Chains A and B, each alone.
Chain A
Amino acid sequence: MTSTENVNADFTPVTDWATDFDHADPQYNRNAHAIWAELRGTCPVAHSDRYGGTWLPTTYEYVREIAYDTENFTSRAVIVEKMIPPDPAPIGGAPPITSDPPFHIEARKLLLPPFAPKKIELWEPEVRTLCRGLLDSMMADVAAGKTIDAAADYAKRIPVNVISRMLGFPMSDEDLFLEFVHDVLEGIDDAPEVRFVKIERLIQYIVSQIEDHVENPRDDLTSYLMGVELFGEKLSVEHIGGSIILLLIAGIDTTWSAIGSSLWHLANNPDDLARLVADRSLIPTAVEEFLRVYAPVTMARLVAKDHDFHGCPMKVDDWVLLPFPAANLDPEVFPDADKVLIDRAENRHSAFGLGIHRCLGSNLARLELTIAIEEFIDRFPSFTLGGTEDDVTWSVGQIRGPRELPVRVLANK
């Protein structure tokens, strides 16, 4: 099954997004909206020979169709890379996101309760305290007239802190978690043997944390996973470890990106910032609109069966990217799709995916995003970009958001 044939040995910059796209090209995330708009109008399912063959649908209809089709597309690997991971369906390496029916729903049911709305609401005071502490630590730079980095020193710090607390991992390891996230999600262009070493390091860390929880059980998600039963038996260490990898990796980069993109938008759009500062009742619709327009997550599938997809000859083990953010910008579905309307009331966006793999952490992500924006604009009711767009760096790969976001505070409380 696993093959490295036909894989480009060296990364070369993309010159034609319709026939040779590569989401690891830094230009992809920086210019994603323009690239998707161009493709949607000219080539709604793009193809590239890179990564052993990859498809990129850009319309809402096609993204939705693939998300619902668990027969022709498998989730057993969800991050496009040069070598297909060996973990077989229906479980995959990081259940339940890498699981297919019928196993998927059973594994998912174990994790849904701790992430249900009424459980996540309880985290609000802690997240607010965390945000305020991060803002406090920026005040010296603000007072000195320096720019602050709203991505690296604020957006990034929020989800990594929350998820390490939920999992019961040492908070002193936060920077290590950020390295893991970078390795998994941005190291997609690494040679397979390099990638293997990096993933192995992550797995060894998780195993050591599980061992620590065996010796010192405590009230956290790791202990919870070690205690639950599936089909009448405790979960295997592989299952527990895979689910923890999912929570650690999926919970950090994504929310960090959503917070960063929202603050990037507000830094560039003083009218929207002023409206939000003046009228807090706009926060809920603004959050949904930021999620629609700047949806950070593109998922992936592997083709499970040779089949024709609207004229595209899809072959077993071809990768398929599922760019939910591109779906959210489809003018066939969203009026004024390319405009950011912070009071958009009807917003059927798919930022958290569609179908059985709806983001498990969506309630937590919304909570963190909402509080992060509220606290930031409370403290800094007026701010702007602290430089040019060239000073903003964007992530590489399937999660899209600013990694460095220099902000100049114009007014603070």
Chain B
Amino acid sequence: METASIVILMRIHVDAEKCQGHNRCYALAPELFDVDDYGNAVVIGDGSVPAELEDKARLALANCPEFAITISE
């Protein structure tokens, strides 16, 4: 049996300066984003996106009114 190697292809980032707490990413992809006590978004963990959540990450990016989310692939 081969050793499974997880290759992270996608990573998300929230620009804290741009985020104004619209809360769209947390509503759409709570597996990837959390909110702090002020309601501002933070990425969960190191921002790595499992393959099955890539569509959700893109959806969160496309719904952020402040263009605060970026994705690196």
Residues of A within 8 A of B (CB): 109, 112-113, 115-118, 284, 288, 345-350, 352, 354-356, 358, 362-363, 366
Across the interface, do B26 and A362 meet the contact criterion of CB distance under 8 Å?
no
Q: How far is the CA of A355 from the CA of B67 in the complex (A)?
A: 11
Q: Which of B27, B35, B63 contacts A118 (CB 8 A)?
A: B35
**Chain A: CB-nearest residue to B23:** A117
Q: What are 9 A-to-B residue pairs whose CB atoms are below 8 Å?
A: A116-B39, A117-B39, A345-B62, A348-B62, A348-B64, A355-B66, A362-B21, A363-B39, A366-B23
Q: B37-63, CB under 8 A of A: which get 1 and which 0?
A: 111000000000000000000010011
Across the interface, do B38 and A117 meet the contact criterion of CB distance under 8 Å?
no
Tell me the interface secondary structure of chain B in the complex: loop
Residues of A within 8 A of B36 (CB): 116
Q: How far is the CA of A355 from the CA of B27 in the complex (A)?
A: 19
Residues of B within 8 A of A352 (CB): 22, 65
Residues of A within 8 A of B21 (CB): 112, 116, 358, 362
Residues of B within 8 A of A356 (CB): 20
Distance in Å: Cβ of B60 to nearest Cβ of chain A: 10
Given contacts A117-B39, A346-B63, 8 further A-B contacts (CB under 8 A): A116-B21, A116-B35, A116-B36, A117-B23, A288-B63, A350-B65, A363-B39, A366-B23
Across the interface, do B38 and A363 meet the contact criterion of CB distance under 8 Å?
no
Q: Which of A118, A345, A350 contacts B59 (CB 8 A)?
A: A345
Q: B7-25, CB under 8 A of A: which get 1 and which 0?
A: 0000000000000111100
Distance in Å: Cβ of A69 to nearest Cβ of chain B: 15
Distance in Å: Cβ of B31 to nearest Cβ of chain A: 15
Residues of A within 8 A of B65 (CB): 348-350, 352, 354, 358
Residues of B within 8 A of A349 (CB): 65
Distance in Å: Cβ of B39 to nearest Cβ of chain A: 4
Q: Taking A116-B35, A117-B35 as contacts, is the C-beta distance between A362 and B63 under 8 angstroms? A: no
Q: How far is the CA of A98 from the CA of B65 in the complex (A)?
A: 22
Q: Taking A117-B26, A346-B59, A358-B21 as contacts, is the C-beta distance between A112 and B66 under 8 angstroms? A: no
Residues of A within 8 A of B27 (CB): 117, 284
Across the interface, do A347 and B63 meet the contact criterion of CB distance under 8 Å?
yes
Q: How far is the CA of A325 from the CA of B66 in the complex (A)?
A: 16
Residues of B within 8 A of A113 (CB): 37-39
**Chain A: CB-nearest residue to B64:** A348
Distance in Å: Cβ of A30 to nearest Cβ of chain B: 27
Across the interface, do B37 and A116 meet the contact criterion of CB distance under 8 Å?
yes
Q: How far is the CA of A118 from the CA of B39 in the complex (A)?
A: 8
Residues of B within 8 A of A358 (CB): 20-22, 65-66
**Chain A: CB-nearest residue to B40:** A112
Q: How far is the CA of A356 from the CA of B20 in the complex (A)?
A: 6
